[in-house]
Structure 1
Amino acid sequence: MLTDTRTTTVLPVSDMDRASHFYADRLGLRQSGTGPDGSRTFDLGHGNALSLLPAEEGSQTKHTVLSFEVSDIAGEVRELESRGVRFEDYDMPDLKTVDHIADMGGEKAAWFCDSEGNYLCLHEVP
């Protein structure tokens, strides 16, 4: 059954070395493999993985492609900022961030882009 499987999230990257450094050095993920197509795989824990796939510039989307559930979002934001990650801030009627974090009725979220323009998220559930 699909509910019992491990997953791999595949993200397009135009500069593999730059992206690999971002995920290893800024996010602290461990690279676990390289594919024959030039893709690079990183462990996400619990058997899940992230695969960076060589792609043309502009292959990225403007919506969240990967979200990391964390237990202390404020602490994670501070830690990632200390590694050079830049968080997005929003001030719209339906979405406002304070110190980079949006509170959406108890669930909290913070968004940032990787080196290639893919939107990633941290989220904390109550």
Structure 2
Amino acid sequence: MLSQLEAYSVLPAKDLKRAREFYRDKLGLEPAEEHEHGLVYRTPSGARVQVYETENAGTARNTALGWMTDDLEAEMAALRSRGVVFEEYDVPGLKTENGIATDSEGKAAWFRDSEGNFICVSQSV
């Protein structure tokens, strides 16, 4: 049954070379595996994030991938120092200040990767 299996994330990229450079230069990630049509990244716990080439990249308007941290501001400062730009929102139910949305469950910030995918970094209370 699926409840006994490990899940993984899949992110689209229009330009795999550009995506690799973004994930390396901006996020500090190196692929654990490389295939003809994709890259595989691994988290410290072994979770798999696959990036594959497709023309559909950047068309989703939702969060595609998220990371949890114990210090959101420090993560954001490190990412900003590498050129990552965080989204600002001011819509019903979501307002950011300096890129951070806060609610009773914690804080979150979003940015887009080189392919237009929305990525979130969050911190629980």
**TM-score over 0.5 (shorter chain):** yes
Indicate the RMSD between aligned Cα atoms, in angstroms: 1.6
Q: From the superposition, tell whether residues 4 and 59 of structure 1 become closer, same or farther in structure 2 (CA, over 3 Å).
A: same
Segments of 5+ residues of structure 2 without an aligned counterpart are none
Quick one: percent identity of the two aligned structures? 37
Unaligned runs of 5+ in 1: none
Note if contact 2:19-2:114 (Cα within 8 Å) is conserved in structure 1: yes
Deviates more, 1:58-67 or 1:84-93: 58-67
Deviates more, 1:18-27 or 1:1-10: 1-10
Number of residue pairs matched?
Answer: 125
Q: Structure 1: how far apart are the matches of 2:35 and 2:120? A: 26
2-structure distance, mates of 1:114, 1:72? 21
The TM-score, its normalising length taken from structure 1, stands at 0.90
Name the SS for the 1:120 alignment partner: strand
Q: 8 Å contact 1:107–1:125 — kept in the other structure?
A: yes
Asked if the contact 2:71–2:123 (Cα under 8 Å) also holds between the matched residues in 1, the reply is yes
Please show how residues 1-126 of structure 1 align to structure 2 within 5 Å.
Answer: 2-36=2-36, 38-58=37-57, 60-126=59-125
Give me the TM-score of the superposition, normalised by structure 2.
Answer: 0.91
- Partner secondary structure for residue 31 of structure 1: coil
